[in-house]
Structure 1
Amino acid sequence: MVKVMDKLFLFVYSIVVGFISVILLCVGFGAVSGDLMNDFISDLYRLDSLQITTAVLGIVLFVLSLRFFVVSVKRGSALPPSIDQRTEFGDIRISLETIENLSLKAASRHRGVKDLRSRIRATDAGLDIVLRAVVDGESSIPTLTEDIQRSVKEHIEEIAGIPVMNVAVYVANVIQSGTFKSRVE
């Protein structure tokens, strides 16, 4: 929800700053006459409603600027996503990238798997792993995927000590065999 609000604030902020920059460009290049600017400034000081509107707009822009400054500083120091565990000796943090590499290592041990990609999602119940694979089509796909699921689950639970709830294997394609015999006549 916060990200959606930040995007909305950034959109409004961009529109207002863009409008102000167009006005400043017009004034800078002389597209707006000096008499018109003098009339606007005198109306600004003479009319309370215009003065209040200008003050509110200035406050809103200042608050939005502060918000974007805080967000930019705060997000820059964020650590990559990880799984935290507490032991009797202290805390352990294992990055999701580490789990991803472990799953790719375990899956690549199987014969017939050519191109692998992994996506990890950590839940309260354990890890949810999705593997995308391209296979050679030489062996049974259901048998191969079951073997991959079993080995990835066992490897991650053994090495990282984190329970794996689900390992989904998506077979994206079958590699075409590149061995064609040339015919000589």
Structure 2
Amino acid sequence: MGVLNRLLLLGYGLLFLMVATLGLSFAFKFGLDREGLEGWVNKLYRNPGARWTVAAVSAMILAFSLRLLWVTVHKDKEDPGVDRLTEIGHIRISCKTLESLAIKAAHRVKGIRDLSARVRQDAARSSVGIGLKLTVEGDTPIQVLSEQLQQSVKTHVEEIAGVDVSQISVYIVDTVQPDRSRIRVE
């Protein structure tokens, strides 16, 4: 929506630039005088097509104004994160930070490839749940690897961030053969 708002603001600014230019031209009599302006307004009232054009432009200005007013007044949703209150003050850790910590811990487990993490906050229990999506090497036992991964991520996130991890879901997307370089003996 940011691009749409910027385009509306650009159109709004250009429109008011033209109105300001016409106003200054009229005020300092640069190309417009009172009789010329009155003649233009009289032609506008007599021509029904011109009235519809003015009505359409006015409706667009009204729509732009309402949209920009809504964007200005509307409060954006806060970035999700985990809040902690300490003796000294308030600490907020973003979900993106927790995802990075989970990925870092998961990469320490051997046999894991192509990893992504998603953190969701459980406000009722003031804890987080972590979803891991990954590819594993084919010669690694998946059950053992998953349990090791869950324990490693839970321990790391709780120690580093001080956030309770209530659940870690592991989704294995695929298995791949491990990279084994051939050893040449000469």
- Pairwise CA distance, 1:178: 4.9
Q: How does 1:1-185 map to 2 (within 5 A)?
A: 41-42=44-45, 58-68=61-71, 70=72, 80-124=79-123, 125=125, 126-179=127-180
Superposition RMSD in Å: 4.1
The one-letter amino acid paired with 2:130 is I
Higher Cα Rg: structure 1 or 2?
2
* Structure 2 residue matching 1:162: 3-state secondary structure: coil
1:34 maps to which residue? none
TM-score (norm 1): 0.60
Output the CA distance in 2 between the equivalents of 1:137 and 1:105: 21
| Gapped regions of structure 1 (runs ≥ 5) | 4-9, 18-36, 46-50
Distance 1:52 1:175 in 2: 64
CA shift in 2, pair 1:41/1:61, >3 Å: farther
Q: Distance in 1 between matches of 2:111 and 2:90?
A: 39
Match of 2:18 in 1: none
Q: SS at 2:84's partner residue?
A: strand
Residue identity opposite 1:169 in structure 2 = V
- Give the percent of matched residue pairs that are identical in Structure 1 and Structure 2: 33
